[in-house]
Structure 1
Amino acid sequence: MSKLLLVDGSSYLFRAFHALPDLRNKAGEPTGALRGVLSMLLPLKDAIGATHAVCVFDAKGKTFRNDWFPEYKATRKPTPEDLVPQIEPIQQCVRALGWPVIVEPGVEADDVIGTLTRQAVERGFEVIISTGDKDMAQLVQPGVTLMNTMTNESLDSAGVLEKFGVPPERIVDYLTLMGDTVDNVPGVEKCGPKTAVKWLSEYGTLDNLIANADKVKGVVGENLRKALDFIPMGRKLVTIVTDVPLAEKLDELTWREPDNATLIEHYTRWEFRSWLRALQSPSPLGGEGQGERGSAATQSGEQGGLFGDSNAPAPQRSFAPTRPADDEPVSRSAAHREAYECILTREALDKWLAKINAAPLTAFDTETDSLDGMQAHLVGMSFCVTPGEAAYLPLTHRYPGAPDQLPLVEVLAALKPWLEDASKPKLGQNLKYDMHVLANHGIRLRGVAEDTLLESAAWESDKGHDLDALAKRHTDMETLSYAEVCGKGAKAIGFADVDLSLATAYGAEDADVTLRVHQKLSPLIAAEPGLTRVYREVELPVQEVLWAMEREGVLIDAKLLAQQSDELGRKMMAIEAQAYDAAGQPFNLNSPKQLGEILFERQKLPVKKKTATGAPSTDEEVLAELALDYPLPRLLLEYRSMAKLKNTYTDKLPRMVNPATGRVHTSFSQTGAITGRLASSEPNLQNIPVRTPEGRRIRQAFIAPAGHSIVSADYSQIELRIMAHLSGDERLLEAFAQGEDVHRATAAEVFGVPSSEVTSEQRRYAKTINFGLIYGMSAHGLAKSLEIERAAAQSWIDRYFARYPGVARYMEETRALARHHGYVETVFGRRLWLAEIKSSNAGRRQGAERAAINAPMQGTAADLVKLAMRRVYDWLNRDALKSRLLLQVHDELILEVPEAELSLVREKLPQLMAGVAELKVPLLAEVGVGNNWDEAH
């Protein structure tokens, strides 16, 4: 079979430039990128065995994407000054090695590769694409594989799914949601890989997600809706074009004879002496540069094939960079790595025990065999008490030839007194995870004094909080990544299989960097009383509560879920049959294409809107509108609703029961939203639908064990109460102070009738107005929500603000403060940054203004709930009660309570929640009790 090897030359040259130190020849000319690219290309010809090959580079200047979107790549930094003079020599050397080279003006290398991939697949070729660009994953299909020589990673369709969480055919959707900051392609604000995967897993496709955008809750949902107008263009920009007119024909892309004269000229000028010797004295193995692999690897500070062939073993990096060979130029800016210690003897352990016991603060970290804290076990630990002075304590590394390590039982016995001593201050990055790991070994971590994850979330809520990002942002340190240490994809290894020199570099660096980041962030937070309060009184204290809740888990009735799943399946089959009857033929209910043909071509239903490709849209908004008049769209909406419940909850939850505890253990994140709202994942227990009977029934499966009840305590109208506090509006304050039904009071004000005469319809309208204005709803949005004329909606909004002038004043002042500072604050001082508040794009700016109004309410509610969680947790422990906090969902706390404590909890719980803070209006918590969550809520 013919085999085509496509090399993304532009990806190669940038990766090589950044991977290697600042190598130069004696004339002072930079050579690192040139050396790196050739080091990667030299072994490929023999390693891959391709019959056809080409190396593709980006041409200078703009491309057709700039015509689509003038701002495309507008923010990209200029090509590094030292890389520019190496690009032309790189291309000359690649051609001299016998590689065909394509540089297509006005077209990106990705599109050339995409076009050649399509042509080759159509001809029955096997295709291998060598690149480090994640965008290329969209080209993977049967017969097409991605290969990354720098990580020894090879991705087929299954590998793409494992690496990214979505299959190749969904990569464009995945990239569209995240956007591309490098290319200046906006995505959905704050949508990273996890959110993109979550959405696509839940909704299947980007089109289906768009169709259900109104159902996505919270700030992330608002961000999604703000991005809807640009998403079609974003998708177009990230889609690789596969029909570019090319002068080169596929059959012409074959290996050519090397131009040794040109190679000798370049090797001499750039002082590549080893390659020059190999060329002048050919290796008995044949081929050019066979002996250069080891030399190139040594010069880059790597062993085992960073620039080697794809079959090389996973890299084993020394934690001190290796000096280049004697005949090669030395890097002028080689990175310095501290001399970290590897603890392998009892004497070394005792020395570090003395250090950490005497230290005012010790940075501590664990290395484990799993990302799931409930399942993870120790592989090693690291400590740092002074920047640059850190140690790694290996415990269970097991690779062939691994040095003897101290016995795990002996080490834990020695460390347990320090780990459990609350008077010994400890610092870490996300210590909640380490608390789980140590608990798995029978140790209760105490003395958590600082956490850089939470410091970062308090100081800069709108940025990433992983340790690598914090190190780069606050210490200018380039850290070892986990992928560099363990690899990626199918070839990844566990940390226990990592060579101790590399494990020491990585583990000790984690502790060292954590201490350095803390020393930068701590004084910044200390200088801001509001941020200090959020960090010290809200976030740090609630971390332990979340750990305890995660540890406890929640009991579910798997049999009931199985029964519900069966019922949902039967209902879906019945709806499917009805849909076939309504359509007049069988069809795939999950196929937008088939659905569009039936609705708009066969049944001639009115087209409400079109997709980016010009096809009639079948998204949820369109179906909901059509469902008012036609039966088939209504059936399709019912089917989608059932399918979501079945796939996301009734089928999945029983599989997530921990066999050791018999319970489901979710994970709570304190940094998932800039408002401070907690996020639940694996599984997400905060977004179980409750608007339909089928959705509410799922909560029936969250049960109490025998002799216990589920207790739900929910803050009543918390965000409206916070609005009254923040705005200081006299009429709103009065309504809450007197315990009025605030929606009825609003209806009386807006409609100009006595409160006693407010109808249920008027109250419903007032409720929509109250909550809509909190979220910055416009007259258009209110009109659509209430199905009334826009003029009527505007009139009601005007009357609302006339009756509640304090609310209008608050909103205007908040917008102004947001524009001035770039952020707004909660009652407790949490800062909520608004990146788009000064955007030149009117839609994004208005979205940021709406967020500015709502975020202080959401953020304050989040702060109040966290304070309540800690107060309840402390009470339960102080009084040695057996009741336990299980979940936190929006403004609700869910507990598992023994019958003997039920009356006490019902009385005390609302008091504790109402008393966490003094606002201008009273806080009110309502309590429900039942055998399951649905009954209690």
Structure 2
Amino acid sequence: MSRLLLVDGSSYLFRAFHALPDLRNKAGEPTGALRGVLSMLLPLRTSVGATHAVCVFDAKGKTFRNDWYPEYKATRKPTPEDLIPQIEPIQTCTRALGWPVIVEPGVEADDVIGTLTRQAVERGFEVIISTGDKDMAQLVQPGVTLMNTMTGETLDIEGVREKFGVPPERIVDYLTLMGDAVDNVPGVEKCGPKTAVKWLSEYGSLDNIIAHADSIKGVVGDNLRKALDFIPMGRKLVTIVTDVPLNETLDELTWREPDTATLIEHYTRWEFRSWLRALQAEAAPLPASGEQGGLFAEAARSASVSAVAAVTHEQAEAVERSAAHREAYECILTRDALDKWIAKISAASLTAFDTETDSLDPMLAQIVGMSFCVTPGEAAYLPLAHRGPGVAEQLPLAEVLAALKPWLEDASRPKLGQNLKYDMHVLANQGITLRGVAEDTLLESAAWESDKNHDLDGLAKRYTDLATLSYADVCGKGAKAISFADVPLEQATAYGAEDADVTLRVHQQLAPKIAAEPGLTRVYREIELPVQEVLWAMERQGVLIDAGLLAQQSDELGRKMLEIEQQAYEAAGQPFNLNSPKQLGEILFERQKLPIKKKTATGAPSTDEEVLAELALDYPLPRLLLEYRGMAKLKNTYTDKLPRMVNPATGRVHTSFSQTGAITGRLASSEPNLQNIPVRTQEGRRIRQAFVAPSGWHIVSADYSQIELRIMAHLSSDERLLEAFAQGEDVHRATAAEVFGVSSAEVSSEQRRYAKTINFGLIYGMSAHGLARSLEIERSAAQSWIDCYFARYPGVARYMEETRANARAQGYVETVFGRRLILPELKSSNAGRRQGAERAAINAPMQGTAADLVKLAMRSVYDWLIRDGLQSKLLLQVHDELILEVPESELALVREKLPKLMAGVAELKVPLLAEVGVGANWDEAH
């Protein structure tokens, strides 16, 4: 894994200056800070084992925070006179040691580090931040650790909580309350660490503290109320910004070769004799950047050895604190106990079931244990693969699976779980097919309240009064995290059995709510539960890719990117880093004087994709940059990455489909995401050529035609739209004829294009301004066409107005099938957000209904393939399209039957139409 080491150079130099005595060379020049900083930097290159690294220093002068608050750091003492002459040598020697160095004018080192941390986390890097600054604790998250070289302290998420009394996500609140005297940021007077922690523990967040300010008694309560006006600014000032423009990219932050000549020169001048002798005597190069060694590596090894014991001790306390509801939990360790539970679950009308595993990858996960619950409060955990000292004898895995297989595969034994699709994979890895899935709390939650999160911890908080254990409570976090297989049985039983218990309790709360709503019952029972098995089968099947073709495409993309880079240099009049927002901003807005469309949080002109797309309409350089970014995304996300994701056991790529990723019910694909492959460019479409069929087989694609327009016709009951679809007309041509007042035969290709834009634009709530921009026409002309459209299609106008009104009144809209799409921003006091939610309210029923139809089609097609014993398999679902793998012997049958099945899943006021394509690969079939 790539590892980024971020050193807070400014923190280093001030701490070194104040920590060491007044050291000087024979010329009387101060050397203490220089010696101290180099003493901390020298071992880091070999001890941390980072692949990427940078030392960040504050630049001279004011920063953007001074623009927000002129008094920021106004009371800070001037830099000590003896430190000033050491700063430049510190930076020079740091570079000479092979460290990349960043000194960003107008930006604090904290914000540079925050930005690089965010970028690194997004790319899957592990990040280590070396600093003594408590503010940096707000950056800690999974994969991000703080390291203090002066004290030897390392802080992961749990370490931050232990040190400060609050988790990383509350550090900003904590700092805001206390203020920062050094930076002249006022907080709440007399609110120190204890009071801040007390308030945050009691109220949960700064916002909630503010909401309850009137109820906080005493002098400190009065002080809080006095500070309320400044708190928003205080919070802004102590929050590390993570999107500042930088000249350097992550890929540039790799180790350099040491500049020995410069080091010898400085070691000589500053009289660092021992380092000078070592450098002159050293014949071998520095260890490679990936090597481990030194005190930090030794500490990491020690932590790894003691992690189980440390987590066991800490989590034993957590178990004890909230163990009241776990008294009836049982750990199954004997065959008699197992037989009793098999009898119990076999007789039960519904059993909550869960697996614990050693991996989050469903195709690779192996069972560590199982849990069962048939009555709230009475649950059991069955350990199967725990290890380590103190773990009691467990029943043999093979024996247990053989005993449980009849129940697991019995469709007449109803089972309940939280995301049972995952458990289906885990059992399939053991040769067992889970049947009898009757209920799933993940899908119940998504049906009942589409706008909420649906994880079990969140459901437990909303629907039970239990103080539940989290996975981190028993396994720890960050560097201290252990595998569930290493969790002692007492804690594993408390956690595993509780999962089954809580799942049953949540179901008992949600089931009657859904049953009381016919529409939600239909969505849950006729759409979501049935399609879960289809998605499992598709994930299990995977898709075949041509890795060689992807490698070839990757090379071609790389060459094209180089060509575009040269064209961009010519358009800019100079070379520059195309991946640097700062350099790009300077060229676009300072040198070429292009209009600034919007700004970032720091006040710099934005160069995001939306801005470039707008500028690309009139200027060549933004167009080139968009083209470059598009190709870079294709290369990094698909052509380079997909071959590495082939499962070695199956030879295929296995994506994961989520049913709960969007309030509209649309499926989401991840690891890899196969739904977002761009198809508007030739390069994007070519990636689909790498999704291939085996020899003797074909890829078949079936796509609903103009599905959302047909749904609009159904929902609006507009007579002209209904007639156009009933007659099988080209609806865009028909719209053009209506809007432009000509016959269908007289509609030009340009008019049809305009009508198509209007049709789809209005579905997505496009304004006259948006339509004008899309068609490159005057806003008045666009408004005229919209007015004409609504005049000719009054049913559409009526539907939109009624939908807005109903959405405002209810807070949600519904699909044709009864799916409830909750839009919280409909109640927002922010006009922009409220209007955005109203636009979404118009589109959501169409998008949601389309999602429902596709899921119904998937189930219909899957059932047919299984029922008739066909070899053809469903592979993927992308938007309104189903992709299958079909043998030559079944091709004619599938081409005939597939569109009929898809068209017949529901009766709308207009006919549904599915079109089928066939090819050797996905691109040919689409």
Q: Say whether the 8 Å CA contact 1:390–1:509 is kept in structure 2.
A: yes
SS at match of 1:397: coil
SS at match of 1:836: helix
Match of 1:872 among 861, 865, 873: 861
Match of 1:315 among 312, 325, 340: 312
Superposition pairs of residues 739-888 of structure 1, within 5 angstroms: 739-888=728-877
SS at match of 2:312: coil
Q: What displacement does 1:739 show?
A: 0.3
Q: What displacement does 1:810 show?
A: 0.8
When residues 695 and 3 of structure 1 are mapped into structure 2, their CA distance, relative to the original with a 3 A threshold, is closer
Q: What displacement does 1:598 show?
A: 2.5
Residue 498 of structure 2 is matched in structure 1 by 509
CA distance in 2, matches of 1:114, 1:310: 31
Match of 1:623 among 596, 612, 619: 612
Match of 1:405 among 394, 401, 420: 394
Q: What displacement does 1:606 show?
A: 4.4
CA distance in 2, matches of 1:241, 1:844: 23
**1:936 counterpart = 2:890:** no
Residue 239 of structure 2 is matched in structure 1 by 239
Superposition pairs of residues 543-554 of structure 1, within 5 angstroms: 543-554=532-543
When residues 393 and 310 of structure 1 are mapped into structure 2, their CA distance, relative to the original with a 3 A threshold, is closer
Residue 132 of structure 2 is matched in structure 1 by 127
Residue 424 of structure 2 is matched in structure 1 by 435
Superposition pairs of residues 657-736 of structure 1, within 5 angstroms: 657-736=646-725
Q: What displacement does 1:334 show?
A: 8.4
Residue 470 of structure 1 is matched in structure 2 by 459
**1:374 counterpart = 2:363:** yes
Q: Say whether the 8 Å CA contact 2:772–2:778 is kept in structure 1.
A: yes
When residues 930 and 779 of structure 1 are mapped into structure 2, their CA distance, relative to the original with a 3 A threshold, is same
CA distance in 1, matches of 2:633, 2:108: 39
Letter in 2 for 1:240: I
SS at match of 2:155: strand
CA distance in 2, matches of 1:706, 1:466: 42
Q: What displacement does 1:405 show?
A: 0.3
Superposition pairs of residues 90-105 of structure 1, within 5 angstroms: none
**1:460 counterpart = 2:455:** no
**1:353 counterpart = 2:342:** yes
When residues 322 and 233 of structure 1 are mapped into structure 2, their CA distance, relative to the original with a 3 A threshold, is closer
When residues 489 and 861 of structure 1 are mapped into structure 2, their CA distance, relative to the original with a 3 A threshold, is same
When residues 597 and 819 of structure 1 are mapped into structure 2, their CA distance, relative to the original with a 3 A threshold, is closer
When residues 448 and 5 of structure 1 are mapped into structure 2, their CA distance, relative to the original with a 3 A threshold, is farther
SS at match of 1:668: strand
Residue 630 of structure 2 is matched in structure 1 by 641
Q: What displacement does 1:816 show?
A: 1.2
CA distance in 2, matches of 1:125, 1:472: 36
When residues 125 and 527 of structure 1 are mapped into structure 2, their CA distance, relative to the original with a 3 A threshold, is closer
When residues 240 and 320 of structure 1 are mapped into structure 2, their CA distance, relative to the original with a 3 A threshold, is closer
When residues 687 and 149 of structure 1 are mapped into structure 2, their CA distance, relative to the original with a 3 A threshold, is closer
Q: What displacement does 1:183 show?
A: 5.2
Unaligned runs of 5+ in 1: 7-63, 69-110, 119-123, 161-179, 186-231, 243-305, 324-330
Letter in 2 for 1:447: G
Residue by residue over 1:254-290, the C-alpha shift from the partner in whole angstroms, topping out at 9 and shown as x without a partner, is xxxxxxxxxxxxxxxxxxxxxxxxxxxxxxxxxxxxx
Q: Say whether the 8 Å CA contact 1:457–1:671 is kept in structure 2.
A: yes
Q: Say whether the 8 Å CA contact 1:554–1:886 is kept in structure 2.
A: yes
CA distance in 1, matches of 2:642, 2:313: 40
Aligned length: 692
SS at match of 1:490: helix
Residue 422 of structure 1 is matched in structure 2 by 411
When residues 799 and 336 of structure 1 are mapped into structure 2, their CA distance, relative to the original with a 3 A threshold, is same
Q: What displacement does 1:618 show?
A: 2.5
CA distance in 1, matches of 2:462, 2:451: 13
SS at match of 1:554: coil
Q: What displacement does 1:602 show?
A: 3.4
Q: CA RMSD in A?
A: 3.6
Q: Say whether the 8 Å CA contact 2:366–2:426 is kept in structure 1.
A: yes
When residues 773 and 714 of structure 1 are mapped into structure 2, their CA distance, relative to the original with a 3 A threshold, is same
Q: What displacement does 1:490 show?
A: 2.5
When residues 556 and 236 of structure 1 are mapped into structure 2, their CA distance, relative to the original with a 3 A threshold, is farther
Unaligned runs of 5+ in 2: 1-8, 16-64, 70-106, 115-128, 169-202, 209-231, 243-302
Q: Say whether the 8 Å CA contact 1:704–1:710 is kept in structure 2.
A: yes
Letter in 1 for 2:240: I
When residues 802 and 386 of structure 1 are mapped into structure 2, their CA distance, relative to the original with a 3 A threshold, is same
Residue by residue over 1:139-183, the C-alpha shift from the partner in whole angstroms, topping out at 9 and shown as x without a partner, is 97886876258469999xxxx9xxxxxxxxxxxxxxxxxxx9955
CA distance in 2, matches of 1:3, 1:766: 63
When residues 392 and 376 of structure 1 are mapped into structure 2, their CA distance, relative to the original with a 3 A threshold, is same
Match of 2:478 among 460, 473, 489: 489
SS at match of 1:894: strand
When residues 635 and 504 of structure 1 are mapped into structure 2, their CA distance, relative to the original with a 3 A threshold, is same
Superposition pairs of residues 500-579 of structure 1, within 5 angstroms: 500-579=489-568
Letter in 1 for 2:353: F
Residue by residue over 1:204-244, the C-alpha shift from the partner in whole angstroms, topping out at 9 and shown as x without a partner, is xxxxxxxxxxxxxxxxxxxxxxxxxxxx99995783389xx
Q: What displacement does 1:134 show?
A: 5.3
Residue 147 of structure 1 is matched in structure 2 by 155
Q: What displacement does 1:137 show?
A: 9.5
Q: Say whether the 8 Å CA contact 1:114–1:139 is kept in structure 2.
A: no
Q: Say whether the 8 Å CA contact 1:152–1:314 is kept in structure 2.
A: no
Q: What displacement does 1:424 show?
A: 0.5
Letter in 1 for 2:312: P
Residue by residue over 1:294-331, the C-alpha shift from the partner in whole angstroms, topping out at 9 and shown as x without a partner, is xxxxxxxxxxxx9xx999722346779788xxxxxxx9
When residues 931 and 441 of structure 1 are mapped into structure 2, their CA distance, relative to the original with a 3 A threshold, is same
CA distance in 2, matches of 1:477, 1:767: 54
When residues 497 and 153 of structure 1 are mapped into structure 2, their CA distance, relative to the original with a 3 A threshold, is farther
CA distance in 2, matches of 1:318, 1:648: 39
Letter in 1 for 2:132: V
Q: Say whether the 8 Å CA contact 2:156–2:477 is kept in structure 1.
A: no
Q: Say whether the 8 Å CA contact 1:711–1:894 is kept in structure 2.
A: yes
Q: What displacement does 1:537 show?
A: 0.3
Q: Say whether the 8 Å CA contact 1:429–1:451 is kept in structure 2.
A: yes
Residue 27 of structure 1 is matched in structure 2 by none
Letter in 2 for 1:127: G
SS at match of 1:442: coil
Residue by residue over 1:340-395, the C-alpha shift from the partner in whole angstroms, topping out at 9 and shown as x without a partner, is 10000001001101100111110000000110111001000000010000000000
Residue by residue over 1:532-587, the C-alpha shift from the partner in whole angstroms, topping out at 9 and shown as x without a partner, is 00000000000000000000000000000000000000111122222223333322
Q: Say whether the 8 Å CA contact 2:130–2:146 is kept in structure 1.
A: no
Q: Say whether the 8 Å CA contact 1:425–1:448 is kept in structure 2.
A: yes
Q: What displacement does 1:609 show?
A: 4.2
When residues 319 and 417 of structure 1 are mapped into structure 2, their CA distance, relative to the original with a 3 A threshold, is farther
When residues 732 and 379 of structure 1 are mapped into structure 2, their CA distance, relative to the original with a 3 A threshold, is same
Superposition pairs of residues 387-398 of structure 1, within 5 angstroms: 387-398=376-387
When residues 787 and 597 of structure 1 are mapped into structure 2, their CA distance, relative to the original with a 3 A threshold, is same
What is the TM-score with the length of structure 2 in the denominator? 0.70
When residues 509 and 141 of structure 1 are mapped into structure 2, their CA distance, relative to the original with a 3 A threshold, is closer
Q: Say whether the 8 Å CA contact 1:126–1:143 is kept in structure 2.
A: yes
Residue by residue over 1:451-510, the C-alpha shift from the partner in whole angstroms, topping out at 9 and shown as x without a partner, is 010011111111010001101101122210001111112221111000100000000000
Residue 287 of structure 2 is matched in structure 1 by none
When residues 870 and 403 of structure 1 are mapped into structure 2, their CA distance, relative to the original with a 3 A threshold, is same
Q: Say whether the 8 Å CA contact 1:317–1:502 is kept in structure 2.
A: no
Q: What displacement does 1:621 show?
A: 3.7
Letter in 1 for 2:531: V
* Identity in percent: 80
Letter in 1 for 2:923: D
